[in-house]
Structure 1
Amino acid sequence: MLSSPAPAFRTNSEFTLSVTHSPPSAAQTVSAHPIRRGRTATRASGLAAALLLLAVVAVLSIAVGAKALPLADVWPGLLDPDADEYTVVHQMRLPRTLLGLLAGAALGVAGAVMQALTRNPLADPGLLGINAGASAAVATGTALVGVAGLDGQVWFALIGAAAVTAAGYVVGGGRGATPARLALAGAAINATLYSYVSAIMLLDTASLERLRFWTVGSLASAELAIVGTVAPFIAAGLLLALAVARPLNALALGDDTARALGARPALIRAAVITAVTLLCGAATAACGPIVFVGLLVPHLVRALTGPDLRWLLPYCAVLAPVLLLGADVLGRILSRPGELQVGMVTAVLGGPLFLWLVLRGRVGQP
């Protein structure tokens, strides 16, 4: 009589693999879809609410100033050339508001991608020396070349930001750059260039007077020509940052994991640094260095969206202008008939708010 074959038993490792890698059941897949759709709908609704808030703040930015405009007069001031408010709105308030929208979006998105790239929650647009490069170039142009107008300073600042960012990338290791080396290279460049700017301002009193207003960070000198000059650079930087959002999500898991997912870490870092250079160089050129916007807004937004950059970046592009324009409006209200520059207001408000986030435990690894 033939004995029946012994039953086949799987080892523990084989059983573990089969359990770990078994595909989800149809019920699990169906139940996951409503959760995902609900999360997406919630984020989309939040983004729509943020856009509505931005529209309200933009209207306030046009209405509030040394000469307050009733809200009912804002629309005629925008569209009716015969209205008494048309000149005030188009020559002063509208350029200032547009520049605040552009600069805020640039700083917020630049801060978010810098924190993701360096995996450093304290990273901001000045980490790679971009603001320092723009400041040093403007100081050099003002003291040695005699550049006085914002139209000339914009180009000096863009060139300085690009040159210093390229230098920081090379010093940080080039294609083999790591987040730690990039941060250390940026810190060294920052210290050196800001010392250089301080030396120029102390040795040349004429340059000190011309640079004093610019180095504070302000929207008060906005002109439509300046807005038109920096808008293409900021638009290109925003599009590039949004384009690398998905691969940058993979890079946040580590270089080896990113390569396994098909991403190219060196190419991603180069794209992010290019985007940050365009964004911060243009914003700093037009407004001067403005602190805390690029550092604070990504942390506030991350509490709403999570770490997914595909949602984090659009939220930052909307809510960072809300913060910047809101601070600008507050500075005009607090010091009437004069005004506090927006860079001072963001510094005063940003410090305590960031400390509050730290104490609440909301500042962590991006």
Structure 2
Amino acid sequence: MDSGREHELRAGRGAPTNRTPSRFGLAARDADGDWLDERDLIDGRAPPLRTTVTVESPKTIISRNQSPDVPFDRSVNPYRGCEHGCVYCFARPTHAYHDLSPGQDFESRLFAKPDAPALLRAELGKRGYECRPLAFGTNTDPYQPIERDWRITRACLEVLRECRHPITITTKSARVLDDLDLIAGMAADGLAAVMMSVTSLDPAIARTLEPRASHPEKRLAAVEALVAAGVPTFVSIAPVIPHVTDHEIEAIVARAGAAGARGVFFMPVRLPHEVAPLFRDWLAAHHPERAGKVMATVRSIRGGRDNDPNFFTRMQGQGPWADLIRARFRIACVKAGIDNRRIQLRCDLFRPPAGDQLRLF
């Protein structure tokens, strides 16, 4: 690895570096060179990074997209950055817009949006608002550890329950069960569904790949609890990493079926912008014996590049390796009795928020 950058593995963090974004011409950050830097490295390992949270005050909270690759056109992200520390996270480059590193800054220097519930209420109350499912967890996890204290996701759910607005939640955290009372009630009216992401069943892999996400067994237990409460629940194997996690496809699908998941989906690893060099650093730190093999296969799936940004192919991949993964996945779903039917949430029950004047009916 490049000796000119920080490469200290930090306890509980996914990115082994704090690479600076290069797309915006920002200068690389160097250590101050004082005695504190030397003290921290005496034992050969960098000290743990503390998580900091900064309040962000956006003017709007609903993000919209026109991508043909995703089944939603609007989303809400209560937080920016994610403490889960998943090294492959495609949202990491967004931290560069704040002159912060997509590496360790992304998972330790977080932003919370406490005004999100009020902003959501205001946007849902605008004249002409057209109701369609709102997606939570599309950029950063709504149930990452800081949700325990900030409770912004729960406050947003309370607004959506009041308005009878449909919602989908994608998470890697069993903390979603903290809001089971709200989610189950909405699901009973056809207004909620949950997608639990399970990348690996191996705790050793999960510990380095996504260090602060819930243990894989806790995620599967959460799937069972959600299903038992009547919540339509799905499992996402995202991403599938060749030669690191791809051997677990069949086992994850089988466990998802046993837990009662309505469907299972997968996506080959994506490495946009600064994610690619971070992922290479992670391979060099944790799987040096297969790093070259992994990246060669990733490039074969992505048309000879580290990442394929094109619509229609970026989520599925291409070539023999991608075809093989799809074939294995389909066979595994058949064996598990999973037909992968998508759920249709209800939009006809929506009612705008009451605002200052109570509803007459």
Larger radius of gyration: 1
Which one scores higher on RCO, CA 8 angstroms, separation ≥ 6?
Answer: 1
The normalised TM-score by structure 2 is 0.26
The normalised TM-score by structure 1 is 0.26
Q: Which has the higher helix share?
A: 1
